[in-house]
C-alpha cells in the first residue's frame, strides 16, 4: 500500500471521528424533529481536501456509527442523513475539485446549499410520512413553510463555518505533513466571504422564523374558525330542540 493511500485512509478516519464528536457535542433543536448538526462542516472540509468520494465515505461511516449508538430514527434516519450530507458536501467538494480557488469554493458551497434544499424537499415528502406515521398531506403542508427554510438555514450555516474553518484546518494538516501544499485553494480565503455568509444565514433564519410564525398563525386561525363553526352548529341544534319542545 502506498504512503499516500495510508495518509488518505488516516484522514478519512480522522474526519469521521471528528464529525461524530461534533455530532455528539452539538445538536441544536430548531423545529419539530429537525436539529442543526454541524457535522456536515467537517465532512465538507474533508471533501475539499480529499475529494467528493471522501465526503461520501465519511458521511456513510458517521451515519452508520450514529445508527448504532444515538439514533432514534433507525434506517430511515440513516438514509436521510446520508442524502442530506452528500447532497451538500459532495456537491461542494466536486465543484471545488474542478476549480480549486476561492471562487470555486464559494460557488460549490452555494450550489451545495441550494441542491441540498431541493433534494431534501423531495425526500421529506417521500420518506417523512413513513417514519413519522403521519398523512402525506400533513407533511406536504410543511414542505415550504418548515423544511425549505430549515434546509436553507442549515446549508448557509454549514457554508459559513466551512469558509471560516477550512484555512486553519488545512494549515494544521500541512504542518503535520498529512497533506501537501498542492492540496487546498490556490488563493487565500477572503474573510469578507465569511461575513457575507453569516449575514445570509441570519437573513435565512429570519425567513425561517417568518414562515414558521405565519404557519402557526394560519393553523390557529383555522382552529378558531373550526371551533366557531362547531359552536354555531351546536347553538342551531339547541334552538331546534327547544322549538320542537315548545310546540
Per-residue pLDDT tens over the stretch 44-56: 999 999 999 999 9
**Residue found under cell 414562515:** 211
DSSP per-residue letters across 195-217: HHHHHHHHHHHHHHHHHHHHHHH
The residue-averaged pLDDT of 223-241 equals 52
Which pLDDT does position 243 carry in this prediction? 52
Cα–Cα dist 191/128, whole Å: 38
153-157, 172-176, 194-198 — which is least confidently predicted?
194-198
DSSP per-residue letters across 44-110: HHHHHHH-HHHHHHHHHHHHHHHHHHT-SSHHHHHHHHHHHHHHHHHHHHHHHHH--SHHHHHHHHH
User: With 70 as the cut, is the pLDDT of residue 236 above it?
Assistant: no
In percent, the amount of the chain with pLDDT more than 70 equals 72
Amino acid at each position: 500500500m502506498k504512503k499516500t493511500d495510508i495518509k488518505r485512509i488516516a484522514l478519512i478516519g480522522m474526519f469521521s471521528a471528528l464529525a461524530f464528536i461534533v455530532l455528539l457535542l452539538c445538536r441544536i433543536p430548531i423545529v419539530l424533529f429537525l436539529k442543526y448538526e454541524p457535522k456536515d462542516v467537517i465532512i465538507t472540509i474533508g471533501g475539499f481536501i480529499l475529494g467528493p468520494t471522501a465526503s461520501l465515505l465519511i458521511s456513510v461511516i458517521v451515519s452508520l456509527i450514529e445508527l448504532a449508538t444515538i439514533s432514534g430514527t433507525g434506517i430511515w434516519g440513516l438514509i436521510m442523513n446520508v442524502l442530506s450530507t452528500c447532497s451538500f458536501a459532495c456537491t461542494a467538494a466536486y465543484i471545488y475539485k474542478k476549480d480549486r480557488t476561492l471562487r470555486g469554493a464559494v460557488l460549490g458551497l452555494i450550489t451545495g446549499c441550494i441542491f441540498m434544499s431541493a433534494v431534501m424537499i423531495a425526500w421529506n415528502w417521500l420518506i417523512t410520512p413513513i417514519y413519522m406515521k403521519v398523512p402525506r398531506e400533513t407533511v406536504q403542508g410543511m414542505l415550504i413553510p418548515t423544511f425549505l427554510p430549515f434546509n436553507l438555514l442549515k446549508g448557509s450555516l454549514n457554508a459559513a463555518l466551512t469558509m471560516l474553518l477550512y484555512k486553519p484546518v488545512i494549515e494544521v494538516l500541512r504542518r503535520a505533513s498529512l497533506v501537501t501544499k498542492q492540496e487546498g485553494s490556490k488563493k487565500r480565503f477572503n474573510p469578507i466571504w465569511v461575513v457575507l455568509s453569516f449575514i445570509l444565514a441570519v437573513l435565512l433564519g429570519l425567513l425561517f422564523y417568518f414562515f414558521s410564525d405565519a404557519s402557526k398563525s394560519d393553523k390557529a386561525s383555522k382552529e378558531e374558525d373550526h371551533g366557531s363553526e362547531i359552536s354555531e352548529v351546536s347553538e342551531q341544534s339547541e334552538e331546534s330542540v327547544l322549538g320542537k319542545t315548545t310546540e
